[in-house]
Amino acid sequence: MLIDSFGRVHDYLRISLTDHCNLRCQYCMPNEDIEFMPTSNLMSVAEIEKLAKIFVELGIKKIRLTGGEPLVRKDFTEIIEKLSCLPIELTLTSNGILIHKHIETLQKANVKTLNISLDSLKPEVFFAITRRNAFEQVWNNILLLLENGFRLKINVVALNNIVENELLDFVALTKNLPLHIRFIEWMPFKGNQWSSRKVVTALQMLQMIQQEYDFIKLKDAPNETAKKYQVIGYQGTFAFITTMSEHFCGNCNRLRLTADGKIKNCLFGKDELDLLSPLRLSTPILDIIEKSIQQKHAFLGGQLQSNYQKNTPENIENRSMIAIGG
């Protein structure tokens, strides 16, 4: 088992397959001209499979594939086929653009739940955020996934001056569609122009929703990051990921593996240890994994303040979000 110095058991691994993406979301990617990792730096299919097996032997029970956009990897099908043979819950985070090409692959891999990123329901606002005209494609693929029986979580980054105008529209979707909408407080990463003044908190959003809807609080699962609610009589749910206003680090069970094979014990941590290089040299890596676990800080990577309003982004050492993996 992977247990850190605070007694937290880690059984959930997020593996980034690539830092490439077919969108250019401003809060994720610093600019259009970003330099991506050379292909030689990325984990191969065999290396991803080998590392995943090692982590499963150490107690990992759930693996989420992320990016960038994981579906832009030409060998995505091979990767997910290999990982589907492991005794884990396998899932995926995607922007939804290429989903229609992979429905059968996901079904064969026994993927039951997906996270789809969608920050606006207005095509013109979607374009302004992503710099790409792809809203209709994403929305059609969301409906396609529902038609094929997948459970969908829709990740909405709560961007100020945008989420306030669309909050109720997103909640309204849950009336007739079994969607699980999750509003994510905007978080600071390298180059994403974060400011505490731009954070729209879960409490602020909840108060806005309260003016329009009657809802109930649902029971949250162990290690759950989202605080869930449901409008009375609606099919779907809505939730808040309160990373900034009320962090949930005390029961964190997550680890991350970047596309270039670095283990990160926290999304916000500057510390990362290389697993890929020793793997390629056939050098044991168990001690490196254990070292990363034991270096994990009590909360927010040891860099952020528990009061988000005191954070100064220029003092944060980290990769951009796209280089970490969602």
For 36, the 3-state DSSP assignment is coil
The full DSSP string for 108-168 is: HTT--EEEEE---SSHHHHHHHHSS--HHHHHHHHHHHHHTT-EEEEEEEEBTTTHHHHHH
pLDDT at position 31 is 62
Average pLDDT of every residue of the chain: 94
pLDDT at position 312 is 81
pLDDT at position 314 is 77
For 288, the 3-state DSSP assignment is helix
Per-residue model confidence as pLDDT tens digits over 17-66: 999 887 887 777 656 567 788 888 999 999 999 999 999 999 999 999 99
Integer Cα distance of 192 and 272 in angstroms = 20
Integer Cα distance of 180 and 111 in angstroms = 17
pLDDT at residue 220 is higher than 70: yes
pLDDT at residue 228 is higher than 70: yes
Per-residue model confidence as pLDDT tens digits over 132-187: 899 999 999 999 999 999 999 999 999 999 999 999 999 999 999 999 999 999 98
CB 53, CB 294: distance < 8 Å: no
C-beta neighbour count of 64 within 10 angstroms: 22
pLDDT at position 275 is 98
Domain 2-324 sits in CATH at 3.20.20.70
pTM of the model: 0.95
pLDDT at residue 242 is higher than 60: yes
Instruction: Give the residue, 83 or 316, on which the prediction is more confident.
Output: 83
Q: What is the C-alpha R_g of the chain?
A: 19
Average pLDDT over residues 229-249: 96
Which of 36-45's residues contact partners 24+ apart within 8 Å by CB, and which partners?
37/259, 37/260, 37/323, 41/259, 41/260, 42/17, 42/18, 42/259, 42/260, 43/17, 43/257, 43/259, 43/260, 43/261, 43/276, 45/75, 45/78, 45/79, 45/82
pLDDT at position 32 is 56
Residue 162 — left, alpha, or beta (φ > 0 → left; ψ -120 to 50 → alpha)? alpha
pLDDT at residue 89 is higher than 90: yes
pLDDT at residue 82 is higher than 80: yes
Tokens read off for 77: 């099908």
pLDDT at residue 322 is higher than 90: no
pLDDT at position 313 is 77
Domain assignments of the chain as residue spans, ordered by start: 2-324
Q: E strands, the chain, where? A: 2-3, 9-10, 12-16, 62-66, 89-94, 113-117, 151-158, 179-185, 215-217, 226-231, 237-241, 254-257, 262-264, 272-274
User: Position of tokens 């929703």?
Assistant: 209
